[in-house]
Amino acid sequence: MPQKNSNQKYITLASVFAIICLIFIARLANLQFDPQKTDELRTESEFTTETKVIQALRGNICDRNGVVLVTTSYAYDIIFDYNYMSDDFTEFNETILAVLDAMAATQNISHRTSDLYPFAGEYPYLTYSAEALNEGTATNKALKRMLADLHMEDATAEELVEYFVKRWKYNRVDDNGDPIFTNDEINQLLRVRYDMIRMQFSSMTPYVIAEGVDIEFVTYLKEQSITGVADRISSKRTYMYPGYASHILGRVGSITAETWEYYKELGYDINATVGIDGCEAAFEEYLRGRDGVLTITRNSKGEIVKEEITTAPIAGKDVWLTIDLDTQIAAEDALNEYMESFNKNEGASVAIDPNTGDILAIASYPTYDLTTFSKDYNKLASNEFIPLLNRASGAAYAPGSTFKVAVALAGLEEGAISPYSTISCIHGYRQHGIRVNCENHKSFPSTNLNVIEALTYSCNAFFMETGYDRLDIDTMRDYCVGLGLGQSTGIEIPELVGQIAHPENSSNWTAYEEASSYIGQSIHQYTPLQVTSYIATVANGGTRYASHLLHSVRTFSGEVVYEYQKQVLSTVSISSRTLSTVKTGMMEMINNSGTSTYNMYTKHKIDVTVCGKSGTAQVGNSQNCWFTAFAPMENPKIVVTSMIEDGSSGASVSAIDAAVIAAYLNKK
């Protein structure tokens, strides 16, 4: 009996085992003949997926005729992927050195991303660099943020370096007691690791070690099999005319911690590229595309087995500017030629269509090349002539005698003078205890001039008496406002508004201040763009249009989705008689200046009548020199104003205006 029970037990166990085996075999058979379930099981157990952003193509920036000024091209970036970097300090550091060695071996060091490294010298004798100590520089600001985050606000360079060396274990030794890293390697590691912290390297934010490398270098790196290193396709802005229009085109860059919340609300990815300044920033809403998504499937070994675009990127729209490329090049080349001829260093030139407010050219000197901006930044930022300043719209100056056009206009319209009335000049203005010389024409013993002659010879006495004795400062201010002086021009990029000479803007207003204000001195402060807008308002008969850079917005296929409509900002009443009188005086100014006549009609062969006005404004022991002009006289199509800091003379600056006018009108 016990034997029977024992056999029964074994039979029962065998039966259970057989049933389990049958179930397992059935399951295998089911998977064998159901590939979908097999793939699902494999996916669950062997495969992982991740997504990457596909950067959308940013729209082009073109001139008014569709000539491409800025476009987007694709290149490879080399990145350190936080998720695949070793947790071991030594291996982490060796990964960095391996990539740097590869860059050196293939002559790709020039593609190293720019950083804000604060140290100078060689390890272990590192000190803070001059750039790091220079208050307000990007390097200085980054260092201060770093020290604050580490609670080491007062740390010396030596203390900060010592902290990093210990933190990242650069002072490790091998089994023989020899240092693992040389001093030169520590130098390189410090630079990269410092920048990693600055850029907030993390699982969400990869660190870019090289930008814009070619496929050959990517292949070379892959052959090295360096853990934690990856490549990604990135877009970069390409400037078709390097060095031209740099102050207005602007730059693109990464979203900063300070701007992240703003862009997050707009639906941007944290790694998106955005416009930082200039037109890139002003027209970001049109230029930006919509990024796509690439889904990557890896096997258990981390190898990519599948890549699929799950969301296609959408390209941004093209922005056409009002700029005319030929006219822009003429302005910048003419500025450069003037500077070289007269050994000067700073100036600007602006051209506007007086019938629309279209900015045809806007140039500032000295300038820079956007293609090498990052590499040149420290040098540009420390340059004594401030090349990063856009003097055309971001710097204000006393307008000198170019302001006399406004005084002539106000005097004629208010009845303070007529086209035929005269004012006596006895070597200048000699009234109310004020003495201001006039050396622009013969006045021995005295000369009676009408307004046309006064504009022709730029007579100080005429305009000081017209303004100080026959008008009043409030009336003059009203004309200034209507003409756009000391007012926003409407340009889409940042500008300096400046100020009108008026007692409300001065803490020490005197009779001399007021009298001199009528010849463009005193506390007048206007940008070259504002002066151009004011003269354009006079030239077209009294309508001040918003000065603007946006012409239209178009799709990749060329469809116009937005076209700028001109906007009237203000109007000034100008009778036909007043307009004719002022234009005649400005025409005669050029005809009676040998220098201006030569530049306009002989050198640049302008075949229409040009009206103009020179100006010099005293600044200490030097003078800022102006020339503003428009053409043709009867139906103006272009207004140009150029200004040179510490210039040679107002008439000499007419060479710049002439080159710009000729470039624009001669192509028509």
Take residue 437 and report the two structure tokens written for it.
Answer: 């010389």
- State residue 301's pLDDT score: 65
Is residue 388 exposed (0-12), middle (13-18) or buried (19+ Cβ within 10 Å)? middle
Q: What is the mean pLDDT of residues 157-183?
A: 91
Residue with tokens 């987007």: 72
Instruction: Provide mean pLDDT across the span 266-286.
Output: 91
The predicted structure's pLDDT at residue 267: 86
Q: How far apart are the C-alpha atoms of 266 and 351, rounded to whole Å?
A: 35
Average pLDDT, the chain: 90
Which helix (H) or strand (E) is 660 found in, with range?
helix 650-665
In this structure, what are the phi and psi dihedrals at residue 248, rounded to the nearest 5 degrees? -110, -30
Q: Which two tokens stand for residue 540?
A: 């077209």
Q: Using the predicted structure, report yes or no on whether residue 134 has a pLDDT greater than 60.
A: yes
**CB contact at 8 A, 306 and 643:** no
Q: Which CATH superfamily is domain 44-81+228-321 in?
A: Penicillin-binding protein 2a (Domain 2) (3.90.1310.10)
Helix axis angle, 325-342 to 650-665, nearest 10°: 160
Q: Domain coordinates of the chain in residue numbers?
A: 44-81+228-321, 87-204, 325-369+389-665
Band (42; pLDDT cuts 50, 70, 90):
very low
The rounded distance, in Å, linking the Cα atoms of 476 and 573 is 14
The residues that bridge with 544 in the sheet, in sequence order, are 570
* Range 527-555 average pLDDT: 98
**CA angle, 121 as apex, 116 and 124 as ends, to 5°?**
110
Grouping H, G, I as helix, E, B as strand and the rest as coil, residue 199 is coil
Check residue 668 and give its pLDDT.
Answer: 58
* Residue 635: pLDDT over 60: yes
- The number of beta carbons lying within 10 Å of the beta carbon of residue 536 is 30
CA distance 72 to 53: 17
Distance CA 181, CA 429 (A): 78
Tokens standing for residue 439: 């050396």
Q: Quick one: DSSP state of residue 358?
A: B
According to the model, what pLDDT value does residue 444 have?
A: 61
Predicted pLDDT at 620: 83
Nearest to 345 by CA among 372, 377, 384: 384
* Same fold for the pair 44-81+228-321 and 325-369+389-665: no
Percent of the chain with pLDDT over 90: 68
CA dist., res. 107 & res. 217, Å (int): 10
User: Cα–Cα distance between 668 and 661 in angstroms, integer?
Assistant: 11
Residue 99 has pLDDT above 60, yes or no: yes
Q: CA 546, CA 570: separation in Å to the nearest integer?
A: 9
pLDDT tens, position by position, 201-255: 988 888 999 988 888 898 898 888 888 898 887 778 899 999 999 999 999 988 8
What pLDDT does 466 receive?
98
Closest CA relative to residue 272, chosen from 250, 285, 289: 289
Confidence (pLDDT) at 375: 83
For residues 87 and 118, which has the higher predicted lDDT (pLDDT)?
A: 118
- Select from 195, 233, 226, 51 the least CA-distant residue to 117: 195
Residue owning tokens 């409300």: 504
The whole-number pLDDT of residue 31 equals: 42
The CATH fold assigned to 325-369+389-665 is Beta-lactamase (3.40.710)
Q: Cβ distance 282 to 493 under 8 Å?
A: yes
Predicted pLDDT of residue 209? 93
Rounded Cα gap, residues 308 and 485, in angstroms:
58
Q: What is the pLDDT of residues 352-369, one digit of tens each?
A: 999 999 999 999 999 999
- What is the pLDDT, as a whole number, of residue 36? 52
pLDDT tens, position by position, 441-450: 766 667 899 9
| Chain CA centroid to CA 193, Å | 29
Q: Indicate whether 11 pLDDT > 70.
A: no
Sequential DSSP letters for 64-100: TT--EEEEEEEEEEEEE-GGGS-SSHHHHHHHHHHHH
What token pair was written down for 118? 């604060």
Judge whether residue 167 has pLDDT over 80: yes
